[in-house]
Chain A
Amino acid sequence: MIEIRNLTKIYDGTAAVDDVSLTVEKGQIAALVGTSGSGKTTLLRMINRLVEPTHGQVLIDGEDTQDIAPHLLRRRIGYAIQGHGLFPHHSVARNIGTVPKLLGWKPEAIRARVDELLELFQLDPAAFRDRMPQELSGGQQQRVGVARALAARPDLLLMDEPFGALDPVIRAKAQHDLRDIQRQLGTTLILVTHDMEEAVTLGDRIAVMDKGRLVQYAPPAEVLTAPATPFVRDLVGQAERPFRLLSLTPASAVARAGQADGAPIPRTASLRDALAECLWSGRDAVPVEGGGIVTLAALRAEAAPTARAAE
């Protein structure tokens, strides 16, 4: 569990981060979202003390991070950034093995861990171990960057715009894979993004930052349906709101008995996918794999905030 208490960073008299407090439960994903200059990256970097706070505390499982030497603290916390930051002169294996090596693991243990992580990220160890970063595609580099961050089995992973440099198709898959791996490992994840879509897709809770202050910290549905300030409402985007809301619920959750024509959609598909399918094929309802249908009427009800509030 990560507790951030009254964290403040003042640069030249102005607060980049202003008295922010929030708690991330173990195994949860918190997405820090805001415009550029909102202080979200500074907040993230204060957690592993790449930026030293002016006031306030960060507690990891109750332990104050100020009590740990910065470099030792950072070896316990995974860190992955936009543009991956891989060492261009080290092989993939050496990059991934960086933190284990710093921690003094035995070479065999490092090698085994590197292979295990490459498998986890769907990169064939035999083919990728000895490659150099610039021989990889953008998506592969990003995966190696995240694998490196996870190498020493940290309980906490910090990510700063990790998918920012990827094209949309690869990004969607990378987000999905990250979510799977995070669930599998039970790692607590704090992620900075400027993309509300990404925050809604990945976050268990979304922290919206504006001018250094935390303006809302809530589950995605609440941020979408009950924005705390006009700024949050703008960030969510009025035109996008219903679709983002629909994207939070899987089709199986609202499927009810009935008959509909056409190819079924997967159970894990979101209501947004169901709506897209209805509109595109001109149907009033689509079947869901394994039984049941989703109707346009049900979708309409789900996409309105009043319906949500009634739940």
Chain B
Amino acid sequence: MRLDRPGLLFALIGLAGLILPFAEFKPNRILAGEGATLAAALPLGVALLFALAAMFAMGVFRLPAILRLTAALAALLAVLLAIGAAARHLTPEGDTLARVSPASGFWLLLLALVLMLADAVARLRPGLMLRGLLLAGAVAAAWFLLASGALDQVSTLREYSVRREVFLREARAHLLLAFGSLGLALLVGLPIGMLLYGARRLRGPVLSVLNILQTIPSLALFGIMIPIFSWIAATVPGAAQAGVSGIGVFPALVALFLYSLLPVVSNTLTGLDGVSPSTRDAAMGLGLTRPQLLGWVLIPLALPVLLAAVRIVLVQNIGLAVIAGLIGGGGFGTFVFQGLNQTAMDLVLLGALPTIALTLVAGIAMDLVVEGTARRRQEA
């Protein structure tokens, strides 16, 4: 039987994960913890350890992708349930201060299994529809797992349980920041892109400015905006009432908006430039007006590239919105920075994990949409 190289890599990562501590016991949320290996962390730990080791070993050989997929899925579920069980097992009865968090071994196992899963899915070459269903299934499964209470004793969820209301509020704020800035960027960036398409001479200067904006580090951008917007709020009548302020949601939204402009404008240009000159010329020659040319021909043909811009911006802004937590803009960043201040890693994770999950889901969903429109274009 022949060896499978990616499988070998997954097995090595998995092996490290099995050796390193699986969970960490801390007397309270900020004290340093003490690691427990998988074998020690839960009652049937040794059995699970051998089962996982066998599964990784099997992955080293070339086996049908569907088999690998099933194995990885089962193992992933087992590891997730195991961390929940470990948390229950390691927490002394009645001790509300003690925390059990996932340790390096758990994260490595998670990494190995997710890679294996992604690899197996890619090898199966599922159609668009099936990939959409897989994504929905994964989201539903994660939701179900969290709602079932199986993981409730894990430290990050303990942090969540005392912040339920705040968490929901910050989740909404995070989505508002990411989607709001995307909406603004489309509202402003699409017309700029269309304008530049017609005005070649303006392209260089405008794109350079947007490029420079893109290279300003996000912290520096916030730093610049605080005095500027504070001054505007203080001196321009009505500005403060309209929501302008040095800190808070307003500068966060503006920063994300500025970062989004370059991808939107440059992709609009690329998309429109991609329409063949003869198609454009024929459209004009047949008597389409300029708005008709845009609406009937240019925008439909540029759509896949425009949607690609939406994908880039969305993924970028969901991640960047974390920084808004620094200046009181809200969002999951609030937990990250609170956690950093309190050296409570579990709280940091409460902000970081949903951000990562949101980014992944948005990225994959937009990939499906982009591919769907591009494919329909080809078939069409």
Contact = CB atoms under 8 A, between A and B. Distances in A.
Interface of A: 48, 50, 71-76, 79-89, 98-99, 102, 132, 145, 148-149, 158
Given A87-B297, A88-B301, A148 B278 contact: no
Most B CB atoms within 10 A — which of A48, A72, A85? Answer: A85
A85 B282 contact: yes
B205 interface: no
B33 interface: no
Contact of B278 (A48, A83, A132): A83
A48 B297 CA distance: 20
Interface string B107-141: 00000000000000000000000000000000000
B281 A71 contact: no
A145 B300 CA distance: 20
A12 B281 CA distance: 22
The 6 closest A-B pairs by CB, nearest first: A85-B282, A79-B285, A75-B287, A74-B287, A85-B278, A83-B278
B284 A84 contact: no
26 contacts: A50-B284, A71-B289, A72-B287, A74-B286, A74-B287, A75-B287, A76-B287, A79-B282, A81-B278, A81-B285, A82-B278, A84-B282, A85-B276, A85-B278, A85-B280, A85-B281, A85-B282, A86-B282, A87-B279, A89-B380, A98-B286, A99-B286, A99-B287, A102-B292, A132-B379, A158-B285
Contacts of A98: 286, 288
A80 B296 CA distance: 19
Contacts of B377: 88-89
A161 to B, nearest CB: 11
Most A CB atoms within 10 A — which of B276, B283, B284, B379? Answer: B284
Interface string B285-309: 1111100100011001100000000
A88 B288 contact: no
A158 B286 CA distance: 11
Most B CB atoms within 10 A — which of A72, A79, A82? Answer: A79
Chain B at the A interface: SS class: helix
Contacts of B297: 87
B300 A89 contact: yes
Nearest to A73: B287
- What range describes how many residues of B lie at the interface? 20 to 34
A85 B283 contact: yes
Given A85-B278, A85-B281, A89-B300, 15 more contacts: A71-B289, A74-B284, A74-B286, A74-B287, A82-B278, A83-B276, A83-B278, A85-B280, A87-B283, A87-B296, A88-B276, A89-B301, A102-B287, A145-B282, A148-B286
Contacts of A145: 282
A189 to B, nearest CB: 15
Contact of B281 (A73, A81, A88, A102): A81
Contacts of A88: 276, 279, 301, 377
Contacts of B379: 132
A79 B286 CA distance: 6
Contacts of B285: 48, 50, 74, 79, 81, 85, 158
A84 B286 contact: no
A149 B282 CA distance: 9
Nearest to A82: B278
A173 B289 CA distance: 34
B379 to A, nearest CB: 8
Contacts of A71: 287-289
B356 to A, nearest CB: 37
Contacts of B286: 74-75, 79, 98-99, 102, 148-149
